[in-house]
Amino acid sequence: MALAFSTADPEITLEEESARQIIFKVEIPPDSRARTKDVGVTLTLVGKILADTSQAGNAADSTAKIMEWSVVPSEKKEAYRSVTVKIKSGGIVTRQYELPNAFIVDYTEDFADDSGVGEFTLKLKQMKNKLADVKVTGGFSE
Amino acid sequence: MGFRLKVTGGKDVEFNEGIITAVNFLAETPNATNARSTDLGVVMKISGRINFSLGAEVEDSTVELANWALMPSDQANCYRNVQVQVVSGGQIVRQYTYPNAFVMDYMEDLNDEEGVGTFHLLLKQKKDLTDKVELKGNFEA
């Protein structure tokens, strides 16, 4: 199974070797008596921060661009981006998540002297008034 | 022990043994009460595998679970009929039927180690219709 992450405007494409885990979550308040309007859609991506050892100074991945996105202030248009995550397995796209107005809730980077590569965790949320635009599809060829 | 799930009322979802790994039934009232509360909620938690049908010989209907979770509350089919059977040794040990279930929480977890994904679905019967929940047990499959 391979995970591909990309955003549009400005574009970020994360290499498949970098992405490790995807958690897609839809939630409403747990004390609801019936289905509510207060729906949250979050996507959590966990991945590796790689370095290019063959060419010093070259980035081996685009995690640095995600890091830059995480500090974009909310008044700027680039704070919201269109995010697509594709899960490929056995030659077909088994899952595709599309969040057209995603913003970063949390972004952390974690480095330790025993792991060799760093790890990042990116938590994205679809803008709440644009929930109808979230798409989950799967089972088609590329 | 195997689990079977049937969701009707939107696009039908049917899982036989091999997809669902755990089922959790919970009837809950507020904890800080002096007597039996009328505020009774009936919840069900279902966990399973996302098997990703590759040749399309079996449709992967976990996508429909994700679409159900995204359905806005103003649409009629955000409430669906859910039936879960727990089967063991030729017997239906438990059969839970929630005629007006809605999604509280839905999660898909995919990683590059396991090959298949997992999902967790948390359902609740609409609270004013809690008495419509049908709980049965110990009958022949």
**Closest residue of A to B67, CA-based?**
A136
Decide: B36 and B29 in contact? Cβ < 8 Å. Answer: yes
Residues near A44 by beta carbon (within 8 Å), at least 6 away in sequence: A21, A22, A23, A25, A121, A122, A123, A124
Domain map (residue ranges) of chain B: 2-140
Burial of A47 (0-12, 13-18, 19+ CB in 10 A): buried
Domain map (residue ranges) of chain A: 2-131
Residue B108 φ/ψ, nearest 5 degrees:
-120, 135
Q: Do A23 and B59 touch (CB under 8 A)?
A: no
- One-letter amino acid for residue A70 of the chain: S
Q: Which residues from B are below 8 Å from A24, CB to CB?
A: 66, 107-108, 110
CATH number for the domain running over A2-131: 2.30.110.20
Q: What is the pLDDT of residue B138?
A: 87
Q: In terms of CATH architecture, what is B2-140?
A: Roll (2.30)
Task: Flag whether the ipTM exceeds 0.85.
Answer: no
Chain A contacts in chain B segment 61-80 (CB below 8 A): 63, 66-67, 69-70, 72-74, 78-79
pLDDT digits (tens, 9 = 90+) for B46-98: 999 998 877 655 677 888 999 999 999 999 899 999 999 999 988 999 999 99
Indicate the residue of B70, B102, B116 with minimum beta-carbon distance to A136: B70
Q: Which of A26, A39, A119 is the mutation pick for testing B, counting most B CBs within 10 A? A: A26
Q: What is the pLDDT of residue B57?
A: 58
Residues near B97 by beta carbon (within 8 Å), at least 6 away in sequence: B81, B82, B83, B133, B134, B135, B136
A31: β partners: none
Question: Which token pair is A65?
Answer: 């661009």
Show pLDDT as tens, one digit a residue, over chain A (142 residues). 788 899 988 889 988 888 899 999 999 998 888 999 889 999 999 999 887 767 766 666 788 889 999 999 999 999 999 999 999 888 888 899 999 999 999 999 998 888 888 899 999 999 999 999 999 998 888 7
What ranges make up the beta strands (E) of B11-90? 13-15, 20-28, 41-50, 80-88
Under 8 Å CB pairs connecting chains A and B tally to 114
Q: What is the pLDDT of residue B106?
A: 96
On whether any CB of chain A is under 8 Å from the CB of B135, the answer is no
Chain A interface with B: residues with Cβ < 8 Å: 1-3, 19-28, 30, 32-37, 39, 41, 46, 87, 89-92, 94-95, 131-132, 134, 136-139
Q: What is the pLDDT of residue A92?
A: 86
Q: What is the pLDDT of residue B58?
A: 66
Q: Which residues from A are below 8 Å from B124, CB to CB?
A: 32
pLDDT digits (tens, 9 = 90+) for A7-34: 988 889 988 888 899 999 999 998 888 9
Question: Which token pair is B134?
Answer: 């049908």
- Per cent of chain B over pLDDT 70 is 96
Q: Do B70 and A41 touch (CB under 8 A)?
A: yes
Residue with tokens 């505020």: B39
Going by DSSP bridges, is the β-strand pair B134-140/B91-111 parallel, antiparallel, or unpaired? Answer: antiparallel
